[in-house]
């Protein structure tokens, strides 16, 4: 029998591809990874391709002690990647593979059962860019127990965000994590009073 999940990272798992190397990434997956390093029971609920990049990601998770029972396999779509390119103004440009496996995360019985025992769930905006994964994430949040901490990492990656998704996600969350740029973006989006210096 599988032990109950303490921390569930719900959403994208992908490869961060830099000019000279690549690393496992995805905001919810990063939270689960660090929770596991701190001694908690953490699981990533995501979807990878039935390809070499997917197998490599799963092998990495196992090596880090993470449970992979909620990592779905997709025989039709590739494991997600994002190409990260520096720009001349010291920022970076993100180019995400369209229709990645994680865009098609399904609400399986195993996933919905795991959600009902979770003590904390972390999810974000990016994995809601496609209807199926967005529906799955929202369904999971509805099934979470009342005492579960729901952490929404806003993590805006243009153009993959819509006001409606963000509003619904914030309504579900106990904790909303965002950076200073996202504070200003959401203040304008929802017409909150704000100070440009914040």
Residue 196: what pLDDT? Answer: 62
Dist CA 7 CA 161 (whole Å) = 25
Higher local confidence (pLDDT), 87 or 184:
184
Tell me the chain's radius of gyration from C-alpha atoms: 17
Taking only the tens place, the pLDDT of each residue in 90-145 is 778 899 999 999 999 999 999 999 999 999 999 999 999 999 999 999 999 999 99
Phi-psi label, residue 71: left if phi above 0, alpha if psi -120 to 50, beta otherwise? beta
Residue 1 has pLDDT above 50, yes or no: no
| Mean of per-residue pLDDT scores for the chain | 93
Residue 198 has pLDDT above 60, yes or no: no
Query: Is the pTM of the predicted complex or chain greater than 0.85?
Result: yes
Describe the crossing of helices 180-189 and 163-172 by its angle, rounded to 10 degrees.
110
CA neighbor of 126 nearest in space, from 30, 61, 51: 30
Dist CA 181 CA 183 (whole Å) = 5
Q: How many CB atoms lie within 10 A of CB 28?
A: 28
């Amino acid at each position: 029998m599988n032990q109950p999940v303490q921390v569930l990272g719900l959403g994208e798992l992908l490869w961060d591809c830099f000019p000279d190397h690549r690393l496992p990434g995805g905001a919810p997956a990063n939270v689960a990874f660090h929770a596991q390093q701190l001694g908690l029971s953490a699981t990533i609920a995501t979807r990878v391709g039935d390809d070499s990049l997917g197998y490599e990601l799963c092998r990495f998770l196992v090596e880090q002690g993470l449970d992979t029972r909620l990592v779905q396999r997709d025989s039709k779509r590739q494991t997600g990647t994002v190409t990260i390119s520096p720009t001349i103004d010291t920022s970076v440009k993100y180019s995400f593979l369209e229709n990645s496996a994680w865009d098609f995360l399904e609400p399986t019985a195993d996933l919905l059962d795991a959600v009902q025992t979770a003590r904390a769930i972390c999810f974000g905006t990016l994995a809601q860019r496609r209807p199926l994964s967005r529906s799955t994430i929202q369904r999971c949040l509805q099934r979470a127990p009342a005492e579960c901490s729901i952490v929404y990492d806003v993590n805006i990656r243009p153009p993959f965000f819509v006001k409606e998704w963000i509003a619904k996600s914030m309504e579900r969350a106990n904790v909303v994590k965002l950076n200073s740029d996202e504070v200003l973006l959401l203040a304008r989006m929802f017409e909150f009073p704000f100070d440009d210096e914040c």
